[in-house]
Structures are given as C-alpha cells and as structure tokens.
C-alpha cells in the first residue's frame, strides 16, 4: 500500500500532490460549515481567523468585524465556531427572550482543570440553578447589602491607605495593594478572616490568580502551548489545595449554631445534602459535597477579585489623567462626608458625581469586555440565522459601551454623561451592561458596587493621585486576558489629610 502511494506521488509529482491535499482539506472545511450561519470573516482551515486577532484585543477585533458583517456575526478562531452579539437589541433578544437557548456556559480550559462540578459560574441546568440559589443566599447573608460588609471594606481600606502612605509620595504600582485589599473582602466573606498583605501563601494565591486571569487562553483555549498548559495545571492544583485546607479547618471547628461564613454555610448544605442522599430521590449531581464547596469558593474568588481590582486601577489611572475630575470628586467627598469619618453606602445617593465617575469608567473600560462565554443548548435561530447547538456565544460588552448610536463621542471620557442637567442626580443607562444581563448576569454586582464606592472614596479622601513626574503617560489601551486591565503603571499618592 505504502509503495503504491509512493509510486503515485512520483507519477504526479510531490508539489501537485501537496496542492491536491490543500485543496481537498479546504473543500472539506467548507463542506462541513453549518448552513445559514450569521455572516462573518473568512478564515483558514484549522486556524480560522485567529491570526487576524491581536493578542489581548479580541474585543476590538470583534467590534470592527461587527461593523463589517453586522451586529450578529460568526467567526472561527482555531477550529472553534463563535457567534458574537454586538448590540443591546440582539443581546436582549438572545439572553432575555430566548434565555433557554442562550444561558448555558461554555467550559473554558482553566475551569476544566479546577473542575466545574458545583461551580455556579460553569454549571448548567438544574445544578446551576441550585448553586445560584445557594450563592446568592450566601452572598446576601455575609456580604451584599449588609452593614457588616461595609465595615469590613472600611477596615480593609485602612490597611490599603497605610500601604499607600508607606510609599511616602514616591512612585509605585498599586496593583499589589489593591488586589490584596479586594481579595481580603472575599476572604472575609468565605473564610471568616483576612490575610496580612505580607503573608507569603496569600501573596502566592493572589499572584497565581492574577497570572491565570491575564492569560487570554483562559477564554480562547485553542492555541495553548505545552508550557502554558503545564502552568495552568500547576496553578489550578495550588488554588484547590489552598481552599481545601481552609475547608478542612472549618470542618474541625464547625458549630451549627454559629455559622461564621460562606464555608460554614456550605458545610451545613453538605450535611443536609448527605442526609437527603440517604433518603434518595434526587439526581446524584445535584448533591453538594466538599469538592463542590471548594469549587464554589474558588469561582467566587475568580469572579470577584480581579474584576473589582482592575476597575479600581482603571479609575485611579483616569483620576491621574484628569486632575480636574479628581478635584471635583474630592470636593464632593469633602462636602458629603468631610475628613473625619470613612464613607458609608448611605453617603452614595448624596454623591452623584463620584458615582458618575465610577460608571463612566465601567463604560469606557469594561473589565469583562466579552463577559463570560455562553453556549447554545440546542440548535436555535437568531435574527433569521441558524446557530448550531454547543456554539460558543460571546456578548460583546465593549461594542455596546462604544456604540456611537447610543453614546455621544463614545471614545471621550465624560462622567457628565451619567448626570442630570443640574448635576444633582445620576442617570441610569440601560446600555451600561458591565455586569452582563439576563439569567446569568453577575451575582456579585451589589457587593462589587459597594467595594468600588467605598475603596475609591477612601483613597481620594486621603490622597491625591498623580503620575510620576517626567515619565510618559501610561497607555490607556489596556491588555485583555480573561479580564481587561490597564498595563502596569505607577502612581504617586500625596496625602491630603492625616
Ligand atoms: C467590577 C466588578 C465585577 C464585574 C465588572 C463583573 C462582571 C461580570 C460579568 C460580565 C459576568 C458574566 C455575566 C453574563 O454572562 O451575562 C459575571 C458573572 C459572575 N460574577 Fe461578576 N463581576 C464583578 C464582580 C463580582 C463579584 C464581587 C462577585 C462575587 C463575589 C462576582 C460573581 C460572579 C458570578 C458568581 C458570576 C457567574 C454567574 C452565573 O453564571 O450565574 N462578580 N460578572
């Protein structure tokens, strides 16, 4: 057989044979394309259009393609087919009106390594419903909307401000401090305690989470190098181990009459689930066990830390870029709160300008520009196009936030777009969808809003931030892995009050 192939190749010539094979595979690729897909850019077999997308700028490539091919378009990046929704109308149609078809999650590689069983972010169907119910209940009990969490954020702010003060006005990168502070809020809610910023294990956890979330292959799994895959695996093992130990400690000191945090709540749920399991009646996957509890906590960490951290880093960068805006925020703080006490969420309604500044930042630089990937449950249609089951669907938040049909001069930084004409109240805008929309919208939105407001106000109450003198202004483009954060930059924090 091999001899016959070699004879044949010698007869037609190697070049003709290679050409034939290339044409054959391109033909096969085209024949295998599903019919009536949304239009989109033409790609090559195997790589699709991946080579046309600059690393970290997928949201921008998608936004440009939507101008050419329409607000609902399809594209292959690697062998995987993606459908991208780029305006509020198509997003609402899919995520609200056809929620059964578009509410499942695609499981990205990092999540596979951590294990998705029990995770609210990546489970689907009835298990997801159960996990979301538990997660929302847990966040409400220990976080969102509670006075106690405001106190925790203010307590953490004091450590953060000490960190700023230690720099004595010299240039520093605030990422580490802010990341620690934000992560400690989730630690407090989940573990019942915070970590010291110098704790080496905690520092490692933060560094690993940051590394993983800045890796764009966390979302686009097709072009992973062996080194990146090995690193991802190591990272996943470290994170699981870290949380497993804390869950084990909680088991030792568990007291059903003193539920201290989300892990205790989870342990109560595991015990309840075990007793239900004994009496039968439910699908095994729906039972909650320690593994599912560990993963629930890990995914709260992943969803709730870098998102908030990077939003704060963007906001501080724009304060240094726009000193006039910073001054106005500080005047509002001085008037509404003064300098002798820390902010509370009850101050928020009296501070429309500060809120508008946070909202404009979330519009201009949404930290999850492509949300978290979804997939179609079954074959479905949208706007007359056919979308096969298991197609990855991206919601392009970036495109919605930069749509000139919605926003006047969308590239311009202008907090006033969120203010009434007299500047006395905030205008809510339906096209601001930083936290996603529909059934799978962000679960931590209220907690994130409290953190953003309290941390930001604490910082500007005590410090004025500027860029180091004589250095180039940092890039405002950012760099997107799973999260769109600013590229590393330095600030100086000058004390306003002591
Ligand atoms: C500025 C901060 C944050 C931003 C911009 C943000 C944004 C998002 C976005 C865009 C999604 C996907 C929504 C969709 O698919 O439609 C999401 C999902 C999620 N977020 Fe957030 N988030 C933030 C903070 C948080 C915090 C603090 C927590 C919790 C402690 C959290 C927990 C979650 C969870 C659990 C999901 C998955 C929900 C599900 O699949 O049912 N997020 N977030």
- 23 pLDDT more than 70: no
Distance CA 381, CA 79 (A): 21
CATH class of the domain defined by 117-368+402-495 = mainly alpha
Secondary structure element (H or E) that encloses residue 353, with its range: helix 352-364
Pick the atom of ligand 1 nearest to 186's CA: 30
pLDDT, position 22: 61
d(CA 212, CA 218): 7
CA distance 392 to 414: 34
Sorted by sequence, the CB contacts under 8 Å of residue 3 that are 6+ apart come out as: none
Block residue for tokens 């311009």: 412
Domain ranges of the chain: 2-51, 117-368+402-495
Distance CA 181, CA 158 (A): 10
Please state the separation of Cα 194 from the chain's center in Å: 22
Of 4-8, 165-169, 261-265, 367-371, where does mean pLDDT reach its minimum? 4-8
80 neighbors 53 (Cβ within 8 angstroms): no
In tens, the pLDDT along 158-209 reads 999 999 999 999 999 999 999 999 999 999 999 999 999 999 989 998 888 8
Q: In the chain, helix, strand, coil percent, each to 5? A: 55, 10, 35
Residue 54 exposed, middle or buried by CB count within 10 Å (0-12, 13-18, 19+): exposed
Q: How many CB atoms lie within 10 A of CB 344?
A: 17
Cβ of 443 below 6 Å from ligand 1:
yes
Is the confidence at residue 476, as pLDDT, over 80?
yes
Retrieve residue 448's tokens: 């994130």
Q: Does 5 have pLDDT greater than 90?
A: no
Q: Tokens 């949208």 identify what position?
A: 382
Ligand 1 centroid to Cα of residue 105, in Å, is 13
- pLDDT bucket at 26, cuts 50 / 70 / 90: low
Predicted local distance difference test score (pLDDT) of residue 223: 47
Q: In this model, does residue 222 exceed pLDDT 50?
A: no
Tell which one of 106, 114, 132, 444 to mutate to probe ligand 1, the residue whose CB is within 8 A of the most ligand atoms. 444
- In the prediction, which pLDDT does 116 show? 78
Residue with the bigger pLDDT between 223 and 24: it is 24
Confidence of residue 286 (pLDDT cuts 50, 70, 90): low
For ligand 1, is residue 149 a contact (CB within 6 Å)? no
At 128-139, the pLDDT tens digits run: 998 899 899 999
- Tell whether ligand 1 has an atom less than 6 A from the beta carbon of residue 189: no
Q: Which percentage of the chain shows pLDDT scores above 70?
A: 88
């Amino acid at each position: 057989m091999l001899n016959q192939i070699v004879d044949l190749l010698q007869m037609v010539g190697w070049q003709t044979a290679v050409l034939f094979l290339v044409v054959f595979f391109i033909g096969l690729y085209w024949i295998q394309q599903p019919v009536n897909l949304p239009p989109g850019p033409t790609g090559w077999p195997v790589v699709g259009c991946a080579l046309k997308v600059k690393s970290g700028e997928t949201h921008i490539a998608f936004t440009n393609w939507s101008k050419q091919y329409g607000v609902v378009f399809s594209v292959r990046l690697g062998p995987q087919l993606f459908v991208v929704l780029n305006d509020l109308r198509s997003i609402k149609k899919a995520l609200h009106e056809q929620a059964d078809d578009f509410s499942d999650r695609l499981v990205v590689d990092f999540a596979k390594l951590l294990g998705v069983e029990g995770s609210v972010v990546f489970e689907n169907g009835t298990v997801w419903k159960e996990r979301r119910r538990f997660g929302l209940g847990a966040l409400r009990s220990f976080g969102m909307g509670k006075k106690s969490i405001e106190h925790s954020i203010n307590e953490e702010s004091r450590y953060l401000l000490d960190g700023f003060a230690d720099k004595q006005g010299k240039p520093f990168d605030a990422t580490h401090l802010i990341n620690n502070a934000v992560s400690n809020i989730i630690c407090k809610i989940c573990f019942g305690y915070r970590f010291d910023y110098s704790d080496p294990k905690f520092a490692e956890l933060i560094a690993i989470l940051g590394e993983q979330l800045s890796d764009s292959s966390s979302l686009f799994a097709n072009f992973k190098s062996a080194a990146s895959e090995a690193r991802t695996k190591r990272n996943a093992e470290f994170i699981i181990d870290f949380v497993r130990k804390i869950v084990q400690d909680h088991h030792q000191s568990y007291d059903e009459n003193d539920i201290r945090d989300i892990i205790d709540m989870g342990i109560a749920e595991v015990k309840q689930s075990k007793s239900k399991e004994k009496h039968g009646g439910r699908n095994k996957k729906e039972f909650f066990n320690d593994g599912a509890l560990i993963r629930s906590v890990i995914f709260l960490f992943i969803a709730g830390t870098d998102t908030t951290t990077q939003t704060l880093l963007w906001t501080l960068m724009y304060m240094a870029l726009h000193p006039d805006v910073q001054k106005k925020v500080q005047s509002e703080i001085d008037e509404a709160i003064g300098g002798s006490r820390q902010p509370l969420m009850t101050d928020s309604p009296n501070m429309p300008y500060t809120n508008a500044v946070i909202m404009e930042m979330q519009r201009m630089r949404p930290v999850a520009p492509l949300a978290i990937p979804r997939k179609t449950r079954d074959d479905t249609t949208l706007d007359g196009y056919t979308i096969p089951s298991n197609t990855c669907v991206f919601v392009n938040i970036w495109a919605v936030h930069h749509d000139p049909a919605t926003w006047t001069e969308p590239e311009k930084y202008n907090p006033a777009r969120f203010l009434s004409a007299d500047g006395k109240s905030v205008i809510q805008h339906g096209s601001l969808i930083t936290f996603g929309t529909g059934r799978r919208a962000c679960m931590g939105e209220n907690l994130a809003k409290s953190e953003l407001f309290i941390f930001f106000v604490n910082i500007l109450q005590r410090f004025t931030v500027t860029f180091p003198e004589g250095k180039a202004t940092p890039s405002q483009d950012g760099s997107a892995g799973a999260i769109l954060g600013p590229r590393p930059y330095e600030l100086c924090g000058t004390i306003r009050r002591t």
